[in-house]
Amino acid sequence: AQSVTQLGSHVSVSEGALVLLRCNYSSSVPPYLFWYVQYPNQGLQLLLKYTSAATLVKGINGFEAEFKKSETSFHLTKPSAHMSDAAEYFCAVSDQRSSGYSTLTFGKGTMLLVSP
């Protein structure tokens, strides 16, 4: 079964600093990978996705992620953090079922804290 590991349950950065949130995956097949963001008391919003096209994926709000097969990683970055980026971020891998549909398996999440 596919799985993801997010390193660091909390990451703190200053406003304007680089954001780096780490995600490593385990998959027996070429994976589809996702980053979702969750603001307090809200559902999950898709930031970006990797679907085997370009390895560098650009998403919303200035975020991007790079798929590195050799490292089994899909880290999320943003050059300059804004206060509004403070939220919880989830990495997920598509889990193809034998019946032909797929669901998502999520990591435990990383809370991003942004200080002025």
Site residues for another protein per CB under 8 A: 9, 32, 34, 36, 41-46, 49, 51, 90, 92, 94-97, 99, 101-109
**Closest alpha carbon to 31 in 65, 73, 62:** 73
Q: How far is the CB of 116 from another protein (least distance, A)?
A: 26
Q: How far is the CB of 60 from another protein (least distance, A)?
A: 14
Q: Which is nearer to another protein, 81 or 92 (CB)?
A: 92
- 91 Cα distance to chain centroid: 4
Type of residue at 24: N
Q: Which is nearer to another protein, 68 or 108 (CB)?
A: 108
Distance from C-alpha of 72 to C-alpha of 21, rounded to nearest angstrom = 14
Q: How far is the CB of 64 from another protein (least distance, A)?
A: 17
Q: Which is nearer to another protein, 17 or 44 (CB)?
A: 44
Four-residue CA torsion sign, 8, 10, 14, 19 = positive
Distance from C-alpha of 35 to C-alpha of 65, rounded to nearest angstrom = 9
